[in-house]
Amino acid sequence: MATLWKHPKSINLFAQFVAEDGRRVNRSTGTPDRRKARIMADGWEHAAKLARQGTLTPDRTRAVLSEILERTSDGVDSIRAVPANEFFANWLDHKLATKSAATADRYRATVKQFLAHLGARAAKPLAAIRPADVQAFLTARGKVRSSKTVDVDAKSLSAAFAYARRQGLIDRNPVDAVELPKVESQERVAFTPAQVGLLVAAATGDWKTAIRTAYYTGARLSDVVNLDWNNFNLVDGTLTYRQRKTGETVMAPLHPDLLAYLEGIAGDTAGPVMPSLAGRTTGGTTGLSAEFNDLMRAAGIAQDRTTQKSGRTFAALSFHSLRHTWESLLAAGDVSPELRRELVGRADAASQKTYTHHQMDNLRRGLAKLPSIATK
């Protein structure tokens, strides 16, 4: 066992222990605090013992150092002793300023769950968080959430720890050492043009506009229902809006059928295009997604729900399927992936702002390959 002793010319305690080569060595602990000095001395001796046995791997070295840091840091005497909950709070503030609101919210949800899982350990230094902590969290999440959600949680935590490593707060990213669950391959499927026609026929009021707009633009539900007349230029036949999920700006031509429809309902072109749907939440039992599911049933279209391993159900068809419909029909019309990315807003925002007349004509020709909605 390592011993502690006091040097007459130093206020700090010294530790004596058997080194890797069998020699007894003396090392200053850098502290007069006997409790902290004892932790450091025992940690050094343990590391030396592992080295003599030939089992001192880099991972074990980091584990020993992390334990020493966790048990000796007061959380204020070292930048590497920043508490985990304080680091994540600062990181979320940073992300709120640099990422879209939707992305920041996703990060915030994961961090909240992770800190709750850590419990009292959330107040410990960030460097004390071990791969086992992350693995236990993701395993627990996998019991109640889908594997895709768990994968997103892992990526969110990995981004945070990668940032901490670049800041010199930790030596490695603990997420790198965990085993992620296999992602279930269930995906949304597309509506057929005939089914879209049934949806439009069964819809009433602003839902008719929402379905048409999503089908002809590939936009997401939250973006569609919150479109304002100012987003449309009916003279030039274009749509410009900022995506809520990514924060990216979309500028694209309007399909001739959608342009004609909008011109037909346009009166006082100010305010929300779909006022009864604008500003409403998409989730929950009374949200827009649930309302659209009711509309699907009224149209005689089954959601094709399946139960995942986590116990949660998955609907192959939903409002988001209209986005897949848009994508798949254009692909079937031989519209290139690059052109589809530009039409749906995945192209570089700067390049979209400088579209030439020729480029816009190319986009219009590509979008025109989308079949018209057949309604009775």
Q: Which domains does the chain have, with CATH numbers?
A: 3-56 (no CATH), 81-177 (1.10.150.130), 193-367 (1.10.443.10)
pLDDT over 90 for what percent of the chain? Answer: 32
Question: What gap in Å lies between CA 347 and CA 16, rounded to an integer?
Answer: 63
- pLDDT tens profile 298-317: 999 887 655 555 555 557 78
Residue 51 dihedral angles phi and psi, to the nearest 5°: -65, -40
- Predicted confidence at residue 184, as pLDDT, reads 52
Locate tokens 């107040």: which residue?
A: 123
Averaged confidence pLDDT in the chain: 83
- pLDDT for 349 equals 47
Highest mean pLDDT among 90-99, 176-185, 269-278: 269-278
* Residue pointed to by tokens 């995906």: 187
The β-bridge partners of 225 are none
**Residue that wins the pLDDT comparison between 220 and 167:** 220
> Which pLDDT belongs to residue 277?
96
- CA–chain centroid gap for 225, Å, is 23
What is residue 347's predicted lDDT score, i.e. its pLDDT? 45
Alpha-carbon torsion (83, 88, 91, 93), positive or negative? negative
How many residues comprise the chain? 376
pLDDT value of position 171: 80
User: CA of 146: how far to CAs of 138, 180, 284, 309, 319, in Å?
Assistant: 11, 12, 18, 8, 20
Of residues 172 and 117, more confidently modeled: 117
- Mean pLDDT of all residues in 280-302: 90
Neighbours of 124 (CB within 10 A): 21
Q: Are strands 305-307 and 313-315 parallel, antiparallel or unpaired?
A: antiparallel
| 28-37, 78-87, 344-353: range with lowest mean pLDDT | 344-353
Joined tokens for residue 67: 């334990």
